[in-house]
Amino acid sequence: MSQAKHFFEKHRKLAVLIGIGILIILPQLTRSNYIRGVLARIIVYATLASGLNIINGYSGQSCLGIVGFTCIGAYSGAILTTELGLPFLASLLITLLLCAAAGFVVSLPTLKLNGMFLSIITLGFSEMMRLTALNWQKLTNGPLGIKGIPNVELFGWKVKSGAPFYYLALVALLLVVFILNRLLKSRVGRAWIAIREDQDAARSLGVKVSHYRCVNFMTGAIICGTMGVFIAYYYRYVSPDMFSLDEGFNVLSMCVVGGSGTLFGPIAGAFVINLLTEGFRFASEWRMVMYAVLIITMMWVRPQGLFGAKDSVIAGQMSFWNFFAKKNKKKEDGDVNHIGG
Amino acid sequence: MSIILEAKGVSKHFGGLKAVEKVDMQVKEGSIFGIIGPNGAGKTTFFNLCSGTYKVTSGQILFGGQDITNLPPEEVAKKGLIRTFQNIKLFQYLSVLENVKVGCHINTRTSVFDAIFHTKTYHQDEEYATEKANRVLEEVGLTEYKDWKAGNLPYGYQRKVEIARALAAEPKVLLLDEPAAGMNPAETWSLLEFIQKIRDKGHTIVVIEHDMKFVMNLCDYIMVLSFGEKICEGTPDMVKNDKNVQEAYFGRGIIQKSNELNQEGA
Amino acid sequence: MYIIQQLINGLSQGSIYALMAIGYTLIVGVVGLITFAYGEMVMIGAMSAYLFYTFVCPNFFLGILVAFASSGIAGIFIHKVAYERFLEAPKHISLLCTVGCSILIKNVAQIAFGSQGNAMPMAFETKPFYLFGTDLYITTIHLAVIAIVLILSVGLSLFLHKTRVGLMLRAVSQDKMASSLVAINVKKVTLIGNIVGTGLGGVAGLLYGTYLTNVSTVFGTVVGLKAISACVLGGMTNIPGAALGAVLIGILENFGIALFTSSYRDIFAFIFVFIALTFRPEGLFVFQFGRKGKGGKKA
């Protein structure tokens, strides 16, 4: 297992090409349109998780409510199509700008504060968006939702559900990952990582923390919001309960389980979580319980997630081996708290 | 030589506690200025005031003639005043080279747009950052460790990496907070020579230190703080022989006793 | 007149929120970690009181004890899972653990008891008292709620300032390292702080259910958010400030319902907090001198 990992780390480019190749042929491996639909959904969620990961994994902030932006994006896509008849790309662009503005506004209060505050604000924001969608009947049709979203049409070509939609989503995922990679390997990414690792040190070297946090959050908000449009076209229907906080925790668990702080982690997480969901169809009410247990287990055993950034503050100081070591130490520890942890 | 860093009547009160009280300081450009004093004297607090980490309760801080009082730390850094920390704040999980590259942030301009579209600015900045970081590491003598994780280096080297990172920002003034802490005599001596080399390159350096030999041998001018107030300043010789300084470090009782013993012996 | 009635309503609702905020702030202060599982603690208190009233006996005061105990026990669970190991780890780890706990508790409760609203059996009569011969009225519920919150707040204050355990709680909330150096068992003290905090939340849940005559397994999330918001408004570790912030939220909510529709009720609380944080990030009621600190506690 670790030999494979070693191989992949050394031959990065090759590994990436192999990965993309696998993703391209994946839908061809099955004849079932249902499975192709699931795969398409996985790709959409992988992109969503990548957006969340940029915030949670790269700037020391903790966003718990991206579902608010996805909600804005989905409703924006739905309304622009059904009410105004705008084509797919146009609504994508407008949604992008809308979510950028929303991301800017939401991040404002917390720029000067501890990164934990963002989690509170984003939760509140997401609930606000859901409640607005539920109650602003004139705009959103309230609890009934918006039905009848057509298929995506790109330059006259109808993108049907199943394999075609999968490839459309795959283009989005690859584009997003490509852009994020370029950002991370630049001065901007270095600033983000510096803020994540040690904020005071970063400031002492001239990194304007509030500015970079804002840019970071807007990036995540744009990605998550724009993918909301994809969600609208995928289900061809939007309603407020698709954007409850619990649904948002869905995406969060992908980042937590799959890994944060790396570009591959959220993609892996999307696969893992969605496959588990499919597997758990017979006991769907236990789905959320499963996510919860997974999140807690991950935090105990491997805080950075399966494929996350081991070399980062995200991983804490606990490794898998520490977990067992601490368990044995309990007996001698006695009552006094261990200074220094 | 002009005064590059100046503090005028700077005070910092935490409620009733006077951590720093009406301290004046004038640092000449190109010199090595030392700040010493017993524990709790307020030296690091004073540094924090100069670097913008704390807001002053009263007083002014001037950098190159400009008022930088209460500017946020990143603005102060941009003006050319870079500091290190008492308990080494390296990015533990990043490599040494990456650590130093962060130091190049101030002098590069790549924006989100530049990064995504790999514009000319992006390429220029990346070349500059890589080249500068490698050069600084070479000057510091740590090139062979550049791909090590910073947290894995021995303590003395970590300190050097932190200083290298600060140097990559091309500072006019370097504030070093207890750079020799935790070092053995050999490391301390090597650090002393290293700081002198930095000064010779044109940087001004302000050092907080406890190690007396280090300070006396290194600094051109010294300021002594005790309980937040300045009790003495001058050249190393002046400070060594000052009665107030001796009392602050050894206590009045011991000074009196030693004077009595000296008189009896004479 | 209508406005004053809403003020009275707001004060009652606000005092329920205040009890939650007090419990929450206590936890944040003593444990030093932010939690997102607090709403579920409130829910546990409400549901256990409902079950007690329905299946055992509708004694109001026993119900309070049941609510406190059940939420306190849940607090032990949260402590073991999310706090004990992570007191000195990076904060996001315990944060995500509490998120996991919140999802776990909420969904298990939903599976066990369903997500419908349940009518809260009234443990005492609801009698309105008309004031000064006007249309304004205060009911026994209003009085009970405000009275209980006041009693518990005073009790907490006495506990914190006049008992040895309370002294240890205050010491740990100020400086964990120093506390351990004077032989205080920091882990045990954080556990106690958590139990008291969640227990108070449980009682608040009982009051919430009594006030609204309705309990369910799903109201925890929103209510927990309000408790956190009130805590933040108070400046994070300021118990009286958090209580005040909570009362403000309650009053503003009720005015919002009066002016607009009730379905937007929760939005008012959030917008208020949002704006308050933008302009006064250190909290509304904080008069801090000294270091240029960001909001949030220094561990």
* Identity of the residue numbered B191: L
Domains in chain A: boundaries: 27-242
The whole model's pTM is what?
Answer: 0.87
- H/E run at residue C152: helix C140-162
DSSP C122: P
Chain A 79-108, residues with CB within 8 Å of chain C CB atoms: 108
d(CA A302, CA A296): 10
Whether residue C297 lies inside any domain: the answer is no
Name all chains with 3 or more CB-CB pairs below 8 Å to chain C: A, B
State the helix-helix crossing angle for A245-258 and A264-279, rounded to 10 degrees: 120
Both tokens of C131, joined, read 């004031």
Please write down the long-range contacts of B190-194, taking CB distance under 8 Å and 24 or more positions apart: B191/B156, B191/B159, B191/B160, B192/B217, B192/B218, B194/B140, B194/B160, B194/B163
Whether residue C163 lies inside any domain: the answer is yes
CB A265 within 8 A of CB C122: no
Query: Strand B32-36 relative to strand B221-226: parallel, antiparallel, unpaired?
Result: parallel
Query: Strand B81-83 relative to strand B32-36: parallel, antiparallel, unpaired?
Result: unpaired
d(CA A202, CA C284): 29
Number of domains in chain C: 1
CB A92 within 8 A of CB A73: no
d(CA A315, CA A253): 16
Across the interface, do A109 and C278 touch by the CB < 8 Å criterion? Answer: yes
d(CA C37, CA C202): 12
d(CA A275, CA A271): 6
Q: Convert the pLDDT of each residue in C128-158 to its tens digit.
A: 777 776 777 788 888 888 999 999 999 999 9
- Report the complex ipTM: 0.89
Chain C residues closer than 8 Å to B53 by CB = 292
Both tokens of B242, joined, read 């000052």
d(CA A239, CA C234): 36
Residue A287 confidence (pLDDT): 85
DSSP C80: I
d(CA C26, CA C199): 11
Most distant CA pair in chain B, distance? 82
Could you tell me which of B25, B23, B74 has the C-alpha nearest to residue B51? B74
Give the confidence band of A72 by pLDDT, cuts at 50, 70, 90: very high
Could you tell me which of C275, C273, C271, C253 has the C-alpha nearest to residue C263? C253
Chain C residues closer than 8 Å to B54 by CB = 291-292
d(CA C275, CA C291): 24
Tell me which residue in A108, A119, A317 faces C278 most closely, judged by beta carbons: A108
Residue-number span of the structural domain to which C201 is assigned: 2-279
Chain A 118-147, residues with CB within 8 Å of chain C CB atoms: 119-121, 123-125, 127-128, 131-132, 134-135
Q: Convert the pLDDT of each residue in A21-32 to its tens digit.
A: 999 988 888 888
- The H helix count followed by the E strand count for chain A is 15, 2
Chain A residues closer than 8 Å to B109 by CB = 187
DSSP C121: P
d(CA A44, CA A57): 19
Residue A8 confidence (pLDDT): 66
Residue A325 confidence (pLDDT): 40
d(CA C84, CA C71): 18
Coil, strand or helix at C134: coil
Which of B17, B54, B58 is the best substitution to test chain C (most C C-beta atoms within 10 A)?
A: B54
d(CA C206, CA C225): 17
Residues making up chain B, counted from first to last: 266
Q: Does the structure show a pLDDT above 60 at A328?
A: no
Whether residue C296 lies inside any domain: the answer is no
d(CA B52, CA B74): 8
Q: For A312, which residue in chain C has the nearest alpha carbon?
A: C90
The residue whose two tokens read 């995500």 is C96
Query: Which residues fall within 8 angstroms of residue A48, CB to CB, at 6 or more apart?
Result: A66, A70, A223, A224, A227, A251, A254, A270
Taking the Cβ of residue A10 and every Cβ of chain B, the question of whether any pair is shorter than 8 Å is answered with no
Across the interface, do A120 and C92 touch by the CB < 8 Å criterion? Answer: no
d(CA A19, CA A26): 10
- H/E run at residue B35: strand B32-36
Chain A residues closer than 8 Å to B82 by CB = 204-205
Both tokens of A21, joined, read 């190749």
Q: Convert the pLDDT of each residue in C242-299 to its tens digit.
A: 999 899 888 888 888 777 777 777 777 788 888 888 787 777 776 543 333 333 333 2
Query: Strand C137-139 relative to strand C214-215: parallel, antiparallel, unpaired?
Result: unpaired
Query: Which residues fall within 8 angstroms of residue C226, CB to CB, at 6 or more apart?
Result: C17, C20, C246, C249, C266, C269
Whether residue C171 lies inside any domain: the answer is yes
State the helix-helix crossing angle for C38-55 and C186-212, rounded to 10 degrees: 60
Neighbours of A5 (CB within 10 A): 10
Q: For C292, which residue in chain B has the nearest alpha carbon?
A: B54
Mean per-residue pLDDT of chain C = 85
Give the DSSP per-residue string, C5-37: HHHHHHHHHHHHHHHHHHHHHHHHHHH----S-
pLDDT tens for chain B, residues 1 to 266: 799 999 999 999 988 888 999 999 999 999 999 999 888 888 999 999 999 999 999 999 999 989 999 999 999 999 999 999 988 899 988 899 999 999 999 999 999 999 999 999 999 999 999 999 999 999 888 999 989 999 889 888 899 999 999 999 999 999 999 998 888 888 888 889 989 999 999 899 999 998 888 898 999 999 999 888 998 899 998 888 888 887 777 777 777 777 788 887 65
Whether residue C288 lies inside any domain: the answer is no
d(CA A142, CA A159): 28
* Identity of the residue numbered A299: M
CATH of domain B1-80+171-266: 3.40.50.300
Taking the Cβ of residue B201 and every Cβ of chain C, the question of whether any pair is shorter than 8 Å is answered with no
Residue % of chain B over a pLDDT of 90 = 62
Domains in chain B: boundaries: 1-80+171-266, 90-169
Distance from the Cα of C200 to chain A's closest Cα (Å) equals: 21
Q: For C287, which residue in chain B has the nearest alpha carbon?
A: B15
Q: What is the mean pLDDT of residues A5-22?
A: 80
d(CA B86, CA B208): 9
Name all chains with 3 or more CB-CB pairs below 8 Å to chain A: B, C
Q: For C112, which residue in chain A has the nearest alpha carbon?
A: A285
Q: Does the structure show a pLDDT above 60 at A338?
A: no
Both tokens of C73, joined, read 């026990």
Coil, strand or helix at A143: helix
Q: For C85, which residue in chain A has the nearest alpha carbon?
A: A300
Q: Convert the pLDDT of each residue in C11-46 to its tens digit.
A: 999 999 999 999 999 999 999 898 999 999 999 999
d(CA A246, CA A253): 10
Chain A residues closer than 8 Å to B149 by CB = 311
The residue whose two tokens read 């983000």 is A192
For B197, half-sphere exposure in the C-beta direction (CA atoms, 13 angstrom radius) is: 13
Taking the Cβ of residue A100 and every Cβ of chain B, the question of whether any pair is shorter than 8 Å is answered with no
Q: Convert the pLDDT of each residue in B28-60 to its tens digit.
A: 999 999 999 888 888 999 999 999 999 999 999
Could you tell me which of A20, A35, A69, A61 has the C-alpha nearest to residue A267? A20
Distance spanning both ends of chain C, measured CA to CA: 47
Residue B135 confidence (pLDDT): 94
- From the number of C-beta atoms within 10 Å of its C-beta (0-12, 13-18, 19+), residue A298 rates as buried
Whole-Å CA distances, A84 to A80, A90, A91, C219: 5, 11, 10, 37
d(CA C47, CA A37): 40
Tell me which residue in B98, B116, B122 faces A179 most closely, judged by beta carbons: B116
Burial B170-203 (b: 16+ CB within 10 A, else e): ebbbbbbbbbbbebeeebbeebbebbeebbeeeb
Whole-Å CA distances, C3 to B150, C18, C254: 63, 21, 9
